[in-house]
Copies of this chain bind each other. A is one copy, B any other.
């Protein structure tokens, strides 16, 4: 699908391009930075997600006839600007945190170096994708830790907008979920999908037994039977009678889970179904998953809480001009001076430092005035965090498509393991490691 993404942006970006072109300032080389001033929800770390989707969206950030005609008819910009937009293609540089990495307050998740007009056009698109996807991934990562190695499936499509659902499934997978219920996420991103039946399937049939028989006939005995439509114990007995002790799993979607799960496990064992697994799906979040750590649950299905970021549906990231060239081609560091929204001007480089045991100790941000200035004062301790994403308009390999997702998932697994133990706390608090400006 090559739909243009060029109008997934705010009106004022176009009027700024319009005014800057007229004023002769549109081509001033500029540096924009996408960052979060704090970790929303007082999380201990954030998870970068959406980078691959952003690169794919930038490929399609082109103004075709449909887009230009809308802008013309509604007089959003003047004719000269329409001509400029018709030829627009992003030709700048973008560096950023690689997808799946962790981040902290002030981390420059994306740095865009381009003409002002090119850079400003990407503001809303970049923020939409990263704010939303990172909120999901950040919540999902906590759930993965709470599940202590047991698999989690993302099942929240119904509780978020239909296209966001697809992106949310992708973000949760990068953060360590094993599968999704969303078929479009399977098709678009190659994520494993799963699901068997809802209560309506049981209610469709004249009895729970007939429903189970129909499901086993179609999907085999390794399927998962939903046992809580009427009485859970009765449902479990019927399930084993129908499918035999080789039944794959039973799903429980209601009740006081720690109590119910323990009882169902005993019942399954008594019936000889010792290998039949138990999956639970009742309004789970990182806290209720953690509370089930000692229960004989084999897997979790998480819905609402993961797709809405478990109380933090957006990460509060902003996109700011931090430096630009003057007419003489000299870089000038710039920053808004408003008391409550100060930002730190200039281009940054970032190194994550570690102690002798390999545990992360700080996120060091080195300030500079220009594209090279940042690295001059940087020492060589720790790991360089930023990677090139687009250079002179050319997308760098490894960040998009199925390969990019697999790499991001593996990267997340490694990076989160390097964090100090406090990072895994579910309580609100300070970031797991400090951000230090050098």
Residues of B within 8 A of A335 (CB): 203
Minimum distance in angstroms from A95 CB to a CB of chain B: 18
Smallest distance from the beta carbon of A40 to chain B beta carbons, Å?
10
**A14 contacts chain B at the CB level, 8 A cutoff:** yes
Instruction: Answer whether A157 and B124 are a contact pair too, CB < 8 Å, given A7-B184, A205-B23.
Output: yes
For the complex of A and B, list the 3 residue pairs with the smallest distance between their C-beta atoms, beginning with the closest: A12-B195, A23-B214, A11-B195
Instruction: Tell me the interface secondary structure of chain A in the complex.
Output: helix
Flag if A197 contacts B16 (CB, 8 Å): yes
Find A201's partner among B9, B19, B131 (CB 8 Å cutoff). Answer: B19
| B interface footprint on A353-384 (CB within 8 Å = 1, 0 otherwise) | 00000000000000000000000000000000
Given contacts A123-B198, A218-B23, contact A163 B160 (CB under 8 A): no
Taking CB atoms, residues of chain B closer than 8 Å to A159 are: 127-128, 131-132, 314, 316
User: Are the C-beta atoms of B230 and A128 separated by less than 8 Å?
Assistant: no
**Min CB gap A343→B, angstroms:** 9
Which of the residues B15, B157, B203 comes within 8 Å of A196, measured between beta carbons? B15
A16→B200 contact, CB < 8 A: yes
Q: Could you tell me if B197 and A15 are in contact, using CB atoms closer than 8 angstroms?
A: yes
Sorting the interface of chain A by its residue count into under 10, 10 to 19, 20 to 34 or 35 or more gives 35 or more
| Interface residue ranges of A199-214 to B (CB < 8 Å) | 199-201, 203-206, 210, 213-214
- Which residues of chain A (282-325) have a CB below 8 Å from chain B? 304, 307-308, 313-314, 316, 319-321, 324
CB pair B334–A19 under 8 Å, yes or no, is: no
**Does A187 make an interface contact (CB < 8 A)?**
yes
Q: Report A49-67 residues with CB < 8 Å from chain B CB.
A: 57, 66-67
Which B residues are CB-close (under 8 A) to A30? Answer: 200, 204
Smallest Cβ-Cβ distance to A171: which chain B residue: B161
Asked whether any CB of chain B lies closer than 8 Å to the CB of A221, the reply is: no
Residues of B within 8 A of A25 (CB): 204-205, 214
Known: A19-B215, A22-B218, A128-B161. A228 touches B187 (CB 8 A): no
A320-354 vs B, Cβ < 8 Å mask (1 yes, 0 no) = 11001010000000111111110000000000000
- A130 nearest CB across to chain B (Å): 9
Assuming A195-B15, A254-B341, A340-B254, is B5 touching A3 (CB within 8 A)? no
> By the criterion CB–CB under 8 Å, are A10 and B218 in contact?
no
User: Would you call A214 and B19 a contact (CB within 8 A)?
Assistant: yes
- Contact between A162 and B129 (Cβ–Cβ < 8 Å)? yes
Beta-carbon contacts of A217-237 to B below 8 Å, as 1s and 0s? 111000000001111000000
A160 & B181 in contact (Cβ 8 Å cutoff)? no
Report the minimum CB–CB distance from A73 to chain B (whole Å).
9
Contact flags (1/0) for A26-39 with B, using CB distance below 8 Å?
Answer: 00101010000000
**Cβ of B204 and Cβ of A324 under 8 Å apart?**
yes
Which residues of B lie under 8 Å from residue A133 when comparing CB positions? 161
Which of chain B's residues have a CB closer than 8 A to the CB of A166?
8
CB-based contact B320/A200 at 8 Å: yes
Please, how many angstroms separate the alpha-carbon atoms of A166 and B7 in the complex? 10
